[in-house]
Structure 1
């Protein structure tokens, strides 16, 4: 029997891939392990990419409601009205119609009296505090006020990492909200794996030599420029191939992708830095298990999905030395300061000389299932009685 009716507004993958991945992980894990105890309602709009809606529709037990009021462009307006009224008037009819008991907030605010039994608020990271220059004043203020409202409005806060939880305590020492750290796993289905195995991804993208996989969105804080400097520092005969995927749109710095492309050409790296942009999921996984190593040079992360995927595929990890990467790392991880292109060049050169893992699929399915089950259990415990937990 269903004991909890959970609802949240869906993030669009083309504006925030990490947020979309997180929500999909929540849906997938809960429906797999707690389908008899949790009912899920997802709110989306017509400006979501079709693939996002199809991904939700793949879960027959999930109610998908498409209404343009749930467009990202109205999020701030709805949050402002919810702050004034104490509840979201556009959400209210759905709360009553579907007997919603729990709302999972993320980058929004549904009011101090939201008409449901409990509200869980996901705090993905504190990037506006650690890298404030990446935000306009208004974007910084909206994010900061949003976190403060969530911390003081009887929410239960969920952090993706202990690093984010520690940063929250540092930047908001006056608040002591109920909270928990829940590390989320990626979603890699049998269907995804089967589809990826049927793709000759090396031929599709004309890749003829071992490569290091860099699957980051082209956002400023993802730090592609340090990678380019590291490649340029190496003799051309000792440069590994970097294959980069991810959305090319940074809504905060619209010129960033153009800057990366310009640097690739001006630094003579066209043969060593391959930009693929957004690729199908099956291609992404095929690129992951065919790589010789994984690279994430980011300056800030909440909990990086691709790092978790690379671990499941057994790839050596080349990671920027930030606290969350230390938390995610395994025994096959190497670190470099995100500003130190020379240190990164040493790691890239070592990877170039040892490409023994190129084209080898080492995916560990049993570990993947165990992690999903653990994630679902922790999440269900919080959803069904979050006021009783503190960490």
Structure 2
């Protein structure tokens, strides 16, 4: 049967597990794809096969396999046995791709569609591409010239293909239009929605598990340079005397591959501001624990200099928590309730707004606000599921670029 003739429940969708401990955004994107598809009736969603799982934590893979429409590629079952089988699989995959002059993995040989694909794969018609953002254009100082050129060549090739291309926001679409004149791809904007109360339940009580103070501000971002912890730390320094009880809790990886010594510079900045005792650094915590920390926070702070579609914002929306947001176009597009916006380049403005919000806030959870948030976000997530199904149907109709 031709792909264009298949109904959605007859389609096999390969989902490579992008992301990992050093890029939790990719991992969360995969979660939200499956959560959106799970809202659909069985007859209106594809069968999903997880691929490229060798770098993923077993707990992450097992969590995604809990959905009854998701399975694991047999080769991945073999490859996960031990380190030796991982090596054998990688070697065989490389040899087959070289022999057949293919750019995509042998794991995809029986798949109808593959999504999300983040690297250009010439010669395949089933790839549904995803470009999260165009950060290298707007923050070039965070990338080497080689990496900027590599990302630009990859994105240019994807955009010039005839495949389906998924973007995460209207803001990203406007960036694409402004910087890439040769557009042939079939572009769709798909905004994911998070419902962490149901999807990451069972987290530990954060005051007991991590010894957190009764009231705190939570920054959930990993310590990448564009996440802009600097402005948050400088604002905290300005509030050292005016709000002496205000403290931050930070989670996320401290590894920044693009900027050498970035985390060490942030630690030095805290010492310079005299605030090292008012910032609690927890590192990477389980997703369920992260959600509980967010539920109990008085405020969420998202100071990022660039985002594609912020999971932090979607989580805060779903939990009914107040959030201070950098005034990026994408954050304004997300438009969460209980948001206060600030210039991410201005620690003085952030300090003023943070002080005001802190004095007016109370620690969570807020059962009433959370219940209302769940009602709204359930509808948003169902809508996201329907929109994603339509994108997959479109990709099947056109052979994903054939």
Is the Cα–Cα contact under 8 Å of residues 127 and 300 in structure 1 kept in the other structure?
yes
Relative distance call for 1:90 and 1:294 in structure 2 (3 A) is closer
C-alpha deviation, 1:334, in angstroms: 1.5
CA contact (8 A) 1:45 1:70 kept: no
1:365 counterpart residue number: 374
Pairing 1:130-169 to 2, within 5 Å after superposition: 130-169=138-177
Do 2:216 and 2:363's aligned partners in 1 also have CA atoms closer than 8 Å? no
Distance in 2, matches of 1:152 and 1:89, equals 18
1:187 Cα deviation after fit: 4.3
Partner of residue 215, structure 2: 210
The residue that corresponds to 1:376 in the other structure is 385
Instruction: Name structure 1 gaps, 5 residues minimum.
Output: none
In 1, Cα distance between equivalents of 2:152 and 2:101: 19
Aligned length: 372
Identify the range of structure 1 (149-158 vs 261-270) with the bigger mean alpha-carbon deviation: 261-270
TM normalised by structure 2 equals: 0.84
Shift of 1:27: 1.8
Shift of 1:12: 3.1
- Are residue 101 (structure 1) and residue 106 (structure 2) matched? no
Look up the match of 1:110: 121
Query: Residue 321 and residue 138 in structure 1: after superposition, are their counterparts in 2 closer, same or farther (change >3 A)?
Result: same
Does structure 2 conserve the Cα–Cα contact (< 8 Å) formed by 1:4 and 1:383? no
Q: Give the drift of 1:188.
A: 1.8
Residue 166 (structure 1) shift: 0.4
Q: TM-score, normalised by structure 1?
A: 0.87
Cα deviation for residue 312 of structure 1 reads 1.6
Which aligned pairs between 1:205-354 and structure 2 lie closer than 5 A?
A: 205-239=210-244, 240-354=246-360
Cα contact 1:178–1:387 (8 A) shared by 2: no
Deviation digits for residues 206-235 of structure 1 (CA, Å, limit 9, x no counterpart) = 223421111001101000011111111124
The residue that corresponds to 1:179 in the other structure is: 187
Unaligned runs of 5+ in 2: 1-6
Q: Does 1:88 align with 2:103?
A: yes
* Contact map agreement 2:16 2:53 (CA 8 A) in 1: no
Deviations 1:40-72 (A, max 9, x none): 12212433223332233323432223259999x
Could you give the per-residue CA deviations for residues 76-100 of structure 1, whole angstroms, max 9, x where no partner exists?
Answer: x98xx79x97743642xx444x3x1
Once residues 182 and 70 of structure 1 are traced to their aligned partners in structure 2, the CA distance between those partners, rounded to angstroms, is 34
